[in-house]
Amino acid sequence: MEQEEKQKLEQAKERFHLQELSKDQAEFSIGRNLSDDEWQAYIKSEYRKNEKPKDNVYSIKQLFKEPKVKLKPKFTLKDVAKHASKKAQRMNKKQDDVYRVAKLYKGNKNNYRIEKIREYKYRKFNSTRSEWKIHGDVDLFDMHSVIM
């Protein structure tokens, strides 16, 4: 909708002493048919124009409070350097911790037994599936040889 057409609509409102025009009245005053998109855009613009500003005052207390002024934090380079050094010290402490792992090597290397628990046969695929359980102490590095 062009500026001239908007002015014509404002003049029509004043002549007919109306706050809002219907779509038919607007089309008659402009002299052409309006698409739905144009009409919706015009209604939205009129609504926004007539919308009252929102007041954030909800009680009388709000009227007597002074507005809060946000101050920027004042850091000196010395404060920033202190903070950075403390953070670096914390990071170094975390990295220097010694973690102990349970004893990996057992004295009896062959102190285990393997037991077959279940066996399933699948005729469709002509295969079998077995479940095994290992009892005893197995060295972490001998796990592969035990499984084989």
Q: Are 32 and 9 in contact (CB under 8 A)?
A: no
Q: pLDDT tens digits for 134-144? A: 888 777 777 77
5, 13 Cβ separation under 8 angstroms? no
Cβ count within 10 A of residue 41: 13
In percent, the amount of the chain with pLDDT more than 90 equals 10
Contact by Cβ (8 Å): 110, 135: no
Task: Name the more confident of 58 and 5.
Answer: 5
Please say if the pLDDT value at position 19 is more than 70: yes
Q: For residue 147, name the pLDDT band (cuts at 50, 70, 90).
A: confident
- Would you state the pLDDT for residue 119? 92
Mean per-residue pLDDT of the chain: 80
CA distance 15 to 10: 9
The answer to whether 114 and 146 have CB atoms below 8 angstroms apart is yes
53-109 residue pLDDT tens: 565 556 677 677 777 777 777 778 888 899 999 998 888 776 555 666 655 555 656
Q: Which residues of 81-96 are buried (b: 16+ CB within 10 A; e: fewer)?
A: eeeeeeeeeeeeeeee
What is the rounded distance in angstroms from the CA atom of residue 16 to the CA atom of residue 105? 100
